Structures are given as C-alpha cells and as structure tokens.
Structure 1
Amino acid sequence: MIIGSVTQPYGDSNLQVLARTLEAVDYDHVDVAAAYVTLGGARDMLQMLEHSLRSRWLTARKRWVVSFDYCRSEPLAIKMLKSAPASHVRIHDGSRVVSQLGVPKTPFHPKAFLLHGGGGHSVFAGSGNLSRSGLNTGNEVGLLIGVTAQEPHPSILAHVKAVQKWYESIWQQADKLDPSLMDRYSGIFDSVPNRSDPVPTDDDVIEHSRQPSGLTPGQLRKLRVCSSLWIEAGKISRNLGKAVPGNQLMMKRLSRVFFGVPVLDVTPNSPLTVIEITFQSHTKSDCSLTFSDNTMDKLTLPLPGAGGPPAYDEKTLLFKRISAGKYKMVIGDEVQKRDWLRESKRVDAAWEMRGGRVWGVF
C-alpha cells in the first residue's frame, strides 16, 4: 500500500510527496486536474517530473486538465505544460468560458494528481493548485493513497480506479487546446481590463517585510501578469572597471516579481534567480538577479560590447517575457519609449522611482 500526507508548510510539501512517490514506483502515466496554473507552478512541476521520472521523462504520458476560470491561468504556463515531452492539455469548458470573458458556468476547482502504470496506481488529492505557492510554500493539506503491483489491496484499488474513471470523464468532456482556443484566451488575459486589475492567485501572497517596497499588491499583480517591463537605466555603476561601461541595472525593490521571483523578505546581497536574456542575436543564460545591499533589485545584463550594446548608461531598456526564465531585451529609442509609456498608462502601470527614473509594465 502507498500512503502519504501533506501538511504544508509545516511538513512535507505537495511537490515533495509527489517526487518521492514517483521515485519509489514505476509510473508511466501522470494525470493532473487543477483549477489554474501559474508560470512558477508549471516550472516547478515540470522540473520535479523531469528529475523524478528520470529515464521515463521523455516517454511517460502527461495529461493536464486546467481552466480559464477568472483568467487565473497564465497563457505561458499553459503553453509550458503543453510543450513538455508526451504532454497533452485540455481546458474544462474552455470555449464557453472564453465566450463569457473568463466567467465559468460551474467553477472547475479540483486539485488531483493521478499516477499509474505497471508499478501501481496512486491518487494524490489536496488543496494546492499548480502554483508555486500551492506546490511549495502555502498552507495546504493533501492525502496520497495507492497500491503497488506486488500489493494490490482490492478495496483501495477500487477507490483509486473510481478517481481514474472520474478523470477520464472530465478529460473527454474538456476542450482540446488548439491554437484558436489558446489565442482567444490569450487575448482576454492580455486585454486592458485584465492587465489593469488582475485577479489574485496564490502566487500573489505578500509576506510582511522589514523593507517596504512602495509597490501595492495591485501593482505587484501587474508585474506578474504583464509580459513587458521597461525602465530608464540611468547612470550605470562601473562595476567592470573604471574605464569600462557597467552592466548592473538597479531596479525598484520587488521588480523581481516580473522575473518570476516570489515576494519574499530576504536579506541584502541575497541571490534571487538566474535568467536568460537575448539581445539581438546574442543570448546570455546566466544573468543573475540579486537583492542588493542598497535595497534595490540588481539585474546583471549581458556584457557591453560582448553580447550587449556598447553601453547601458542613460538608455531605456525593455524586457519581454518569452517563457519561464527567458527574456528578450530591446534598447528603445525615443519613439519606442513614448510607445511603451503610453501602453503602460493604458493599464495604470507607469511609475517613477525616488531618483526620478521612469519605468513600467504592459
């Protein structure tokens, strides 16, 4: 018999229980049903599956039923799930919800993970969505139950099979995620009304901080939802030497949210994440984001003249999110800067830092 529990954040997390189960038994099918998926949740889930399934990662069938309800699922997160090996995505009542601009007739609210194959059959059900908070850090509970091929336990297997039957039913009823449906949802998600006032998700939790950022919860949600961030670089410090242009961009504290980092209270000089930045035809995959000792978020850019522009001083930079952890950088001229400012003002997301530098998202 297979049994386990989640008492997050005080005990094992959802991701830890799932990883341990996948590593202990040979499963070749992973079926997931969740109300919504965020980019951070998709990345954490897929990284766990790749590590835990090991040689089965490429061939194990993965199915996901998620929803468009209330525009909580992030389009890039859905695309990330679909792009995984042997992965298939369907949307609960997707066409109807899109036609109603994200409002469901009957909300889709399960959080279930079904694992089955030659080694056994298991069901894990709990309260956590496919979000970084739901999988790792939020207050969540869950129970795992299953059987192995060596110990089938008929009564337990009957209940597991009942949940599998339920999953097959919702899978058959859900809409296939074709390009047309994805484009229609992306249009709603990226619309001015949604970017102006995004619906909160579990990943928008803000813990108490000793260093107030000056950003409101609503502004932080815009950082998560919007796909482009632009900023006046100002004067860049000569971190590479007095005679060499610098490459460390100082941004307002918690700008990190745009780059997929949770709102956590960390000490100065703490590393936050590493991202990939593409500028023109050059890609640098190890651009570090750090909470600097000056209480600003510090992004290390591609080296000037070696993958980057000759210098960043007094330039206006735009970062466009391509996928989880991957961004395209553009150096804007005055016309582009005016366009970016106008787009940010449309969603009330143009701001000014204490030193006078202007920045925003859209």
Structure 2
Amino acid sequence: MSCFAHNHPSGTTTLSEIARVRLAISADEFFGCFAYATQSGFRVFELSVGKDFWSETRSRWLFGIDYGRTDPRALREIAGRTNTEVRIFDGRFVVDRPGFDPRRDFHPKIAMMKNTTTKMQGVVLGSGNFSNNGLRRSVEAGATIISTKKAHLDEHIKPVRSVFEELWRQACPLEDIVKSYEDRLAALVGSRDTTRSAKVAGPVRGFWIEAGYVTKNRGQDKPGNQIFAPNGFRSFFGLKKGKNTSTHIGEITFKTEVGPMVTKNYRENDNGMEKLTLPMPEDHGFGVYDGKVLVFEPEGSNFLLTAVELEDFDLVYGHRLANVQKMAGGRRFGGLI
C-alpha cells in the first residue's frame, strides 16, 4: 500500500500509477469507475496503456452523466474498443432529469485490476477524474494497493470492490441511453449558446473552436497536433486565401503558458476545410488537444493559445461568447467579446 501525489519532476500521476499496477500484476481484467469522462481522458489513457490493452484486457467502465459533465463522444470511443463494456450509474433516471440532476451524486475515481490466473489484484483510487487534467495534469493525490494474499485482499480490496460490483449490476447499459443523452445534451448546450452568445458585427477580442477528435498525425503513440477548421476560419487570424494553387495560406505564431513561442503553418485542405497545425501538446502543458476547446487571443501579431476541457469552457468563457456557429460534424466555434 502506498500514497502518491501528482509530481511533474518525478512523473508520478494517477495515470502512471494505473500503468504501474497493471504491469506489476499483469492484469487481464480492468474495472474503472469514474464520475465523468472526457475525450482527453480517453486519449491519454489509450496513449499510456498502448494499443494492445484493448485486445489483451477485458475492461468494464462505470461512469456517471450527472449534470451533463461526461462527453458522450468519450463514452462512444471507449465502448467502441474491443473487450469493453460501458454502463452508466442510474442512467435511465438521470438522462431524463432537467440539467441531468442526479438523485445521488456518482463521484468515484477508482481503477480496479485483476490477474485472473494468479488472483492478484490492484487498486488505484484518488481525486483525479477520467480527463487529461484528472489523470495527469492537475494537482491530485491518491493511494495504490496491490494484494497478493487472500487475507490482505479480503481486508483492503474486497469491501470496496463489492460495493462497485453491486453498482455495476444495477447500472444502465450505455446503449440504452446514449442517443437520448447526446440529443438532450446538445439541446442544453444549444440553449446556453442562444441565451448567452452575443451578435457582434465588428472585431472580437478572441475566438475559439472545439478540437473534437484529433487525428493521430504524428503516429499511434503520440498525441495529434492538427485540427480541421471550417472554411474561412483563417479570417480570425487575419489570413487571406492564397491567389495561386498552393494550399499554404499562411503562418501563425503561438504563445503558450508553458514553453517557447512556436510558428506553425495554416493550410487549405482538400476536403474543403482548413488545417491548423498547433504546438506539440506535450511540450506546452496541454497533454492532448482531444475533446478540448482551443481559445486564441491576439497579442500583437501573435496569438495566445489556451486549451481547456469542454466542461470548463462554459464556466470560464460562457459570459464572453459571440457569434457561436456549428460545423456539419457538430463542433462549435465562435468569437469572444
């Protein structure tokens, strides 16, 4: 048994502890129970455990959708992997509630692992949710337990695991409510946009775009750093479409809170959209861009780039929204006043 805290110099995080325990007991079963999930959490988890995790490990996932904090796209990504099953705590009740208000908050952050041959079990529990921030970046703390003997297992792991096994049996299969959850969440977000977003004809103080799923343009083991933007998004950066046949539109210099300034290309893509290349996320404190909202604020000829979790964006920037629009795939973008 040991305790841990997120420590950047040592590389200790909730995610590194999950990976350590999984390897220590050669786990072939994984049971994760988290209050909410984001696309960034899915992406950093998959990058950490490797592509073979899904084929070699039977995994079960129990999530909450309280208050609409869980991204349904993350749920679908996880459920779409092999050997996985996803259930939602009290899903049939919460999905129909105004604002997804639960009758009992589902708030755990625990990963339970087992080797079905040796009977060894491991648990990682703490304060970090299934997001990039919770798993790696935020200030979090937790505890790790590895059990090799039945007496130790019965005393330290079984009492906790038995509770979540019962919650699992009572939980709702994801497929029963995911479409309703997506539709109601989209309507709720759209309602917020309508009531909060201003109509601005002139220049704005900043602008933003939902990154969504970021393609693995740097390979399967690294986070992507290119996103597609709608045709004309270049105008936010003060760029104009080239007059020749070149797809190169221009260059953008980014400032970030971590790391040096970086200049990247902005290009026209052959699918009618525009391709924005961003700073390497792991070098600038972002971890991944997946599922986050990218915020750009002009500073002279440069642009300060911030990447925030989707569930935090409304809290931080909701009062500044202007001219909110939606792409065909559902991703939103707009200005900031």
Q: Is the 8 A contact 1:4 1:17 kept in 2?
A: no
Q: Is the 8 A contact 2:88 2:171 kept in 1?
A: yes
User: Which residue, out of 89, 95, 101, partners 1:98?
Assistant: 95
User: Which residue, out of 146, 151, 154, partners 1:154?
Assistant: 151
Letter matched to residue 335 of structure 2: W
1:268 aligns with 2:268: no
For the residues of structure 2 that align with 1:22 and 1:68, how far apart are their CA atoms?
27
* 1:115 Cα deviation after fit: 0.4
Count residues with an aligned counterpart.
264
Deviations 1:126-160 (A, max 9, x none): 00000100000101001001213xxx161344321
* 1:350 Cα deviation after fit: 3.7
* 1:28 Cα deviation after fit: 0.8
Q: Which residue of 2 aligns with 1:114?
A: 112
For the residues of structure 2 that align with 1:41 and 1:196, how far apart are their CA atoms?
29
- Structural RMSD (CA): 4.1
1:89 aligns with 2:78: no
Query: Secondary structure, in 3 states, of the residue corresponding to 2:142?
Result: strand
Q: Which residue of 1 aligns with 2:303?
A: 296
Q: Is the 8 A contact 2:25 2:121 kept in 1?
A: no
Deviations 1:167-202 (A, max 9, x none): 211101111111x5111110122121355689xxxx
1:233 aligns with 2:240: no
Map residues 1-362 of structure 1 onto 2, 5 A cutoff. 3-9=1-7, 12-50=12-50, 54=52, 57-101=54-98, 102-117=100-115, 118-119=117-118, 120-148=120-148, 152=149, 154-178=151-175, 180-191=176-187, 192-194=190-192, 214-215=205-206, 223=210, 230=230, 231-234=232-235, 235-236=239-240, 244-248=245-249, 264-269=257-262, 279=271, 288-290=277-279, 294-296=301-303, 343=325, 350-351=334-335
Query: Secondary structure, in 3 states, of the residue corresponding to 1:58?
Result: helix
Structure 1 residue runs without a partner (length 5+):
199-212, 255-262, 299-340, 354-362
Query: Secondary structure, in 3 states, of the residue corresponding to 1:190?
Result: helix
CA gap 1:144/1:278 in 2 versus in 1, 3 angstroms: farther
TM-score, structure 2 as length reference: 0.65
* 1:4 Cα deviation after fit: 3.6
Larger RCO (CA under 8 A, 6+ residues apart) = 2
Deviations 1:227-246 (A, max 9, x none): 996344354587xxx96524
Letter matched to residue 248 of structure 2: N
For the residues of structure 2 that align with 1:99 and 1:72, how far apart are their CA atoms?
15
Letter matched to residue 15 of structure 1: L
Identical counterparts, % of pairs? 21
For the residues of structure 1 that align with 2:260 and 2:41, how far apart are their CA atoms?
24
Query: Secondary structure, in 3 states, of the residue corresponding to 2:55?
Result: coil
For the residues of structure 2 that align with 1:8 and 1:271, how far apart are their CA atoms?
31
TM-score, structure 1 as length reference: 0.61
CA gap 1:253/1:268 in 2 versus in 1, 3 angstroms: closer
Letter matched to residue 269 of structure 1: V
